């Protein structure tokens, strides 16, 4: 099976590595050429060349601005031989432009599958992500041979835009759980409880969660090397607030939680792992 991959950030590199390990003949492109070179194997000179050479391209990009640039920027995907080709977009997009991406691809004869993922670097490397997919049913089915290599579970939501909306809702839980764990741990330490003991008790008690399981060692070691960046979760919460405003729903927690991550960004820590929110509470 041949495919292309665009976006070799922390998560994208893990996903691309998983595809290659499971037998996909992969060609990559990254805006920073050094990342493509470090990944090894074949790389394309630009997105148009990439999609002209393969039947499907998977994208994992920072945001919707990056997706739009890759799609219709100079030598973008849609300027290549893209008729009938699959574009599988795992980016966490803003809910508005993702509808444009469906339309742009359809106009060029490409098949766009909106497929944001839940999970970070470790589950990506193991093929244990959760995928939310929207698009034409036949296109989603055509994307399954690639998505099945990346995901333990695939939820098909149907209409364009629904997968992105659900991903933003999911990340409200992710961001809030992480902030609560950070504050709980910082409070326990301030009360005189050893950090290792506090993490163990939270893990056996009310803090038991996939989030704590994933970030336990980072909290113990205060290791903020990025798997899922502070700047990314802040962006996702901002997108959720835009969605909530459009549908007329108050968001009681999103804004409060978002500003805790904003405090890290103000300190120049946007690229650290979002579990570093613990430091916001630890430092008062």
Residue ranges of domains in the chain: 2-158, 165-282
Closest to 58 measured CA to CA, from 107, 1, 19: 19
Residue 241 to residue 239: CA distance in whole angstroms? 5
Residue 105 to residue 101: CA distance in whole angstroms? 6
Q: Residue 44: its pLDDT value, please?
A: 97
CATH topology of domain 2-158: Rossmann fold (3.40.50)
Decide: 254 and 240 in contact? Cβ < 8 Å: yes
- 3-state DSSP percent of the chain in helix, strand and coil, to 5: 55, 15, 30
Residue 89 to residue 87: CA distance in whole angstroms? 6
The residues of the chain scoring below 50 in pLDDT are none
Decide: 279 and 181 in contact? Cβ < 8 Å: no
Q: Which residues of 4-38 are buried (b: 16+ CB within 10 A; e: fewer)?
A: bbbbbbbbbbbbbbbbbeeebebbbbbbeeebbee
CATH class of 165-282: mainly alpha
Helix (H) or strand (E) holding 27: strand 25-29
Q: Residue 3: its pLDDT value, please?
A: 98
pTM (2 decimals)? Answer: 0.95
Q: Residue 284: its pLDDT value, please?
A: 82
Reported as a single tens digit per residue, the pLDDT across 152-170 is 999 999 899 999 999 999 9
Decide: 224 and 218 in contact? Cβ < 8 Å: yes
Q: Would 2-158 and 165-282 be classified into the same CATH topology? A: no
């Amino acid at each position: 099976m041949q495919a292309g991959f665009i976006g070799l950030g922390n998560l994208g590199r893990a996903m691309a590595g998983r595809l290659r390990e499971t037998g996909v003949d992969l060609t990559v492109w990254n805006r920073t050429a050094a990342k493509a070179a470090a990944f090894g194997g074949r790389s394309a000179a630009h997105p148009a060349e990439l999609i002209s050479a393969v039947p499907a391209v998977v994208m994992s990009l920072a945001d919707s601005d990056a997706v739009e640039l890759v799609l219709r920027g100079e030598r973008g995907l849609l300027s290549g031989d893209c008729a009938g080709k699959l574009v599988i977009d795992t980016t966490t997009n803003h809910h508005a432009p993702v509808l444009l991406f469906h339309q742009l691809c359809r106009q060029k004869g490409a098949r766009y599958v909106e497929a944001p993922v839940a999970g970070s670097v470790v589950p990506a490397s193991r093929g244990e992500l959760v995928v939310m997919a929207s698009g034409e049913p036949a296109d989603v089915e055509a994307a399954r041979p690639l998505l099945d290599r990346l995901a333990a579970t695939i939820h098909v939501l149907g209409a364009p835009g629904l997968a992105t909306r659900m991903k933003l809702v999911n990340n409200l839980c992710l961001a809030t759980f992480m902030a609560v764990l950070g504050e709980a741990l910082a409070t326990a330490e301030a009360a005189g409880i050893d950090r290792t003991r506090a993490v163990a008790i939270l893990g056996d008690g009310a803090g038991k969660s996939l989030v704590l399981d994933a970030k336990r060692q980072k909290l113990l070691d205060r290791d903020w090397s990025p798997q899922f960046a502070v700047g990314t979760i802040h962006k996702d919460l901002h997108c959720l607030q835009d969605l909530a405003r459009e549908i007329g729903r108050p968001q009681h927690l999103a804004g409060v939680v978002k500003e805790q991550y904003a405090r890290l960004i103000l300190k120049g820590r946007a690229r650290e792992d979002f579990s570093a929110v613990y430091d916001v509470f630890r430092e008062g």
